[in-house]
Amino acid sequence: MISTTSTTHAPTPQPWNVDLRKRVLRSRADTLVERAALLSKEERLLVEGVFRDGRTVTQLARVWRRPEGPRIEAKSLQRRLRRILRRMHTPEFAFVAKHRGAWPPPMDRVATACILHGLTLREASLELGLSVHTVRRNFHAVLALCAAHVPGDSR
């Protein structure tokens, strides 16, 4: 006799998504502004402009300029804000925010650059002055620590 067992998997969490056309609850906006303190300066200004100051992405795009001079399109800024918000709501972001400073300096710097600031391994390598191999090794160590502490995360 063949036994059939069904395996139930925990539902995969959907990426957090906010409709930028609608108002966000003040409590959620305050949380986003608080977490924005961990982002790079440019990303922090974008999140604060929308969720603390109440400006629309279109309003920010009108005044937002690159160092070279040309204005940034609203659609581009909106996509960037969505990517930032998704990153801010990952378990890895929360884990690194809570535990940073408790790790050796290279691991702490890599976790901040890659997970909090959203840099790629290569970008982090250039910014931190470390080899790509060192950055990758420390990044995977942080992910392993996160997976060990976050229930249901199987990366």
Residue-by-residue pLDDT tens, the chain, 155 positions: 444 444 434 334 444 555 554 556 677 788 888 888 999 888 998 989 888 888 888 888 887 766 666 667 888 888 999 999 999 988 999 999 999 889 999 999 999 999 999 999 999 999 999 999 999 999 999 999 999 886 654 44
Interatomic CA distance for residues 141 and 109, integer angstroms: 13
Quickly count helices (H) and strands (E) in the chain.
8, 0
In the three-class reduction of DSSP (H, G, I as helix; E, B as strand; rest coil), residue 65 is classed as strand
The CATH number of 91-149, from 3.40.50, 1.25.10, 1.20.1270, 1.10.10, is 1.10.10
* Contact assessment for residue 28 and residue 89, using Cβ atoms and an 8 Å cutoff: no
Round the CA-based radius of gyration of the chain to a whole number and report it: 19
Going from the C-alpha of 98 to that of each of 23, 32, 42, the distances in angstroms are 28, 15, 22
Interatomic CA distance for residues 125 and 132, integer angstroms: 5
pTM: 0.73
